[in-house]
Amino acid sequence: MSGFIRPEMRRRLARWAEPAFGLAAALFAARLLWRGYVLQDWMLEILGILLLPVGLGVFWAGFRRAQFKGASTGPGVVEVDERQITYLSANGGGSVEMAEMTRLEIRRTIEWGAVWVLKQRGAPTLFIPIDAAGGEKLFDALTALPGMDTSALIAARRSPPETRNVIWRASAPFRALT
């Protein structure tokens, strides 16, 4: 029975599972709210009021995350662990400490096509192919950067530009005049 759903369809359904769950929770909460109003049951109304924003929040976060996910057919593997992004590949790799990041770009290379470019202070630049395995973990990691615009991040992921596109820059460090 495991072969009932094709693998590519299973991956597509899994991609949208979180927003579907959030939408179902929001609809359930709206139904509780409505039933509480109709039956004049304040307990159902309060439960609906409390669950509705949670369901909508899960839906919105899952929707944003699902837009970022893509096929994991590129070379290498991405791992995110305690504010450190690591890229492992047969052609090389490296890691970036998020506190040391200075710039995030997306650009095209001849070798890998569209890649994330993570620049950091005092270390080499890290190039990660957009479709590397585990690349969906980058969404949560990169949205934690101060001042990151998630809509720009998603737009860059969906349509890689032909030229260099800077998505995020660290604010200039404060230097005292002495």
pLDDT tens digits, 97-134: 888 888 888 887 777 677 888 898 888 888 888 878 88
Q: What pLDDT band is residue 172 in, cutting at 50, 70 and 90?
A: low
User: For the segment 145-170, what is each residue's pLDDT rounded down to a tens digit?
Assistant: 888 887 777 777 666 556 667 888 88
User: For the segment 42-87, what is each residue's pLDDT rounded down to a tens digit?
Assistant: 998 999 999 999 999 999 888 887 876 666 667 788 888 888 899 9
Q: What pLDDT band is residue 178 in, cutting at 50, 70 and 90?
A: low
Integer Cα distance of 23 and 30 in angstroms: 10
Instruction: Give Cα 147 to chain centroid, integer Å.
Output: 15
- pLDDT(135) > 60: yes
Integer Cα distance of 112 and 128 in angstroms: 9
117, amino acid identity? V
Residues shown for the chain = 178
Predicted local confidence at residue 160, as pLDDT:
55
Predicted local confidence at residue 159, as pLDDT:
63
